[in-house]
Structure formats: C-alpha cells, structure tokens
Amino acid sequence: MKTHSSIQPFVLVSLLSLFPGPLPAAESTAPIAAPDLVFDEVDGIVAVEAEHFSKQTLADKRAWHLTTSQSKPDLKPDADPAHVAGASGGAYLEILPDTRATANQKLIQGENFTDTAGLMTILHYKVQINTPGPYYVWGRVFSTGPEDNGMHIGFDGQWPASGQRWQTVQKQQWGWDCKQRTAEVHTGVPMQLFLDIEKAGEHEIMISMREDGFELDKFVFARKKEFQPEGKGPAVKVKAGTLPPAFPKWLRPHRHRSSFLRTGANRRPSRRATCDRCPAAMAKAAERWRSGFS
C-alpha cells in the first residue's frame, strides 16, 4: 500500500504559492492538511474540502492530484483543461492520468475504471460524528463527459453497498449531486447514496476511484434527506487541528487596464503603474495569503 506523505503539508502549500505553474506528480498527490485535522459534524452537517485529506493510499496506477489557482499537475494524459475557476477554496482534486475520456476509448478494469469500491486510489479523512444515523453524501464535482462522473464512498475500512457508485450527469460546471448509479438507472437514483454511521465518535471517511478523470471539489454529509447544498456549500467545521489557508482566488484572463489616482495639492490625476489584476497585484495577493502561515 502506497501513501504519499514525504512532504510536510504546510511546506507544500507554501511551495505552491511561491512557484506557480506545473507541479511534479509526487508533490501534487501529497496531503496539504496535517494528519491531526479532524472535521466536525454540527447539526447533522459535515462539510469537507476535497484537498484536505489526511493521506492517500493505493495510488500506484492512478492518484488524486491537486489543482490550484497557483499550480496544476505536470501529468499527461489529461483530457480537459483546469477548472479552478469557481472551485471552493481555490483548489480541487482530479484522478490522473485520464486515459478514458469517452466511451470510444478502451476501458481497462483496474486501470482507468473499477466498479469495485476501495480497489484503487483512496482519500482518507477524519470526521467527528456527534449525531449517529444515515448520512446522505453530496459531492461538488466537475464532469466534462460520460466517463468521469463517478466515485465510491466508505468509512472505517468498510465499503457498504449504499455508498458505492456515486453518480452525476451534470456537465461543464461545478455542481452538487447525491445519486447512486444502479443497473436499472445509469443516470443515478436521487438520494439513494448514503452511509449509515451508527456510533458517535471519530470516524475515517474514505473516497475511492471509480473512473479516472473524476474531479472533486468538496463533499457534504447531511442527516436530513431534504437538505441540498447551494453555491460552494456550507462552511467547514473543525473538531481538532487547523485548516490550511485557502488558495488565492483565481483571476480570469483579462485585458490590461490602468486606472488614475488623484494626487498632490491640486489632486491632478496620476496613472497607476500596474493594473489591479496583473502580476504585480497578484504577487501582493499571494504574499497576503502566505502571511496566514506566520
């Protein structure tokens, strides 16, 4: 069993901000959260940023790779561009390499697809459950085709049938879903994907690969069946440890623009040296973000 943990989490986050651009595969799979981070269930809700996993295992053939507003994995093939715009916390995870973006490409069991939960690349999270019972699993994902829209969810080393084959059919945008694919309904049965956690206390939540190319931004466990997350979802609550700071906001490509300031006794206009969305301003934003470590 392989676990990527050679780089200290907070050191990695700092490196991501200092050196934007392609990120070596070994670094894009390492955790950025410390191993003592425990998420808290409050009023029947648990919210977790996907990139805040404590460890990753079984990542020899495929792995969950981090994409942020500062960097993306240096790994091919990857069938689609980065989708960091709109991602909660300025980051998300994608299973790479992606060798089956369409149904016309060869399906290889145990390599680019597995219908067996817990067989390939697994994310691990620690969660404090205070209200035992069934939890419906909502995922915020970005799917671009028919072969990158599924995952499996388990807990405490178990992969119950109710947590297998999470599915979405939403395309080309970040969106929430809670559906389970079945033999009869390939598009997924709404509100049939859940985990029944019978005891209060700390539990380990696990998310494993079903299809490569899958992109996960955030997930929410909800006790109430009528609950539905909106936007970037509910706030993350922490029982123990410290959340890594969010990555700087991604800025869309733009035309250079300068603005005028009124300065001096007669308040004459003076042109600014840089646009507020150009590299100099972005560097200042990154520096403000990095100050969260001090």
Contact 65, 73 (CB under 8 A): yes
- Asked whether residue 204 falls in the same domain as residue 236, the answer is yes
- Asked whether residue 276 falls in the same domain as residue 197, the answer is no
- Asked whether residue 17 falls in the same domain as residue 119, the answer is yes
- Asked whether residue 72 falls in the same domain as residue 209, the answer is yes
Please report whether residue 2 resides in a domain.
Answer: no
- Asked whether residue 198 falls in the same domain as residue 283, the answer is no
pLDDT value at position 116? 98
Q: Which residues of 120-142 are buried (b: 16+ CB within 10 A; e: fewer)?
A: bbbbbbbbbbeeeeebbbbbbbb
- Residue found under tokens 């620690």: 126
- Asked whether residue 141 falls in the same domain as residue 172, the answer is yes
- Asked whether residue 208 falls in the same domain as residue 82, the answer is yes
179: amino acid identity, one letter: K
Please report whether residue 197 resides in a domain.
Answer: yes
34: its two tokens: 């410390």
67: amino acid identity, one letter: T
Within 8 A by CB and 6+ apart from 239, the residues are 38, 39, 40, 128, 202
Q: What is the pTM of this model?
A: 0.81
Q: What is the tally of structural domains in the chain?
A: 2
**CB neighbours of residue 52 within 10 Å:** 24
List the domain range (segments joined by +) for residue 110.
9-240
pLDDT tens series, the chain, 294 aa? 444 444 455 444 444 444 446 878 788 999 999 999 999 999 999 999 999 999 999 999 999 999 998 899 989 999 899 999 999 999 999 999 999 998 899 999 999 999 999 999 999 999 999 999 999 999 999 999 888 999 999 999 999 999 999 999 999 999 999 999 999 999 999 999 999 999 999 999 999 999 999 999 999 999 999 999 999 999 999 999 999 999 987 555 545 444 444 444 444 444 444 444 444 454 555 555 455 544
Within 8 A by CB and 6+ apart from 210, the residues are 113, 114, 115, 117, 150, 151, 152, 165, 166
Please report whether residue 253 resides in a domain.
Answer: no
Sign, CA torsion 128/131/137/140: negative
Please report whether residue 254 resides in a domain.
Answer: no
The DSSP-derived string for 137-160 is EEEEEE--STTS-EEEEEETTB--
Contact 250, 90 (CB under 8 A): yes
Nearest to 47 by CA among 239, 190, 292, 248: 239
- Asked whether residue 104 falls in the same domain as residue 196, the answer is yes
Please report whether residue 250 resides in a domain.
Answer: no
Helix (H, G, I), strand (E, B) or coil at 194: strand
Nearest to 52 by CA among 35, 72, 70: 35
Residue 32 belongs to domain with CATH number:
2.60.120.1620
- Asked whether residue 49 falls in the same domain as residue 186, the answer is yes
Q: How many CA atoms lie within 13 A of 194 on its CB side?
A: 16
- Asked whether residue 269 falls in the same domain as residue 228, the answer is no
Please report whether residue 61 resides in a domain.
Answer: yes
Helix (H, G, I), strand (E, B) or coil at 40: strand
- Asked whether residue 138 falls in the same domain as residue 275, the answer is no
- Residue found under tokens 């440890």: 241
Please report whether residue 14 resides in a domain.
Answer: yes
- Asked whether residue 26 falls in the same domain as residue 131, the answer is yes
Please report whether residue 186 resides in a domain.
Answer: yes
Of 212, 240, 268, the residue at which a domain comes to its end is 240
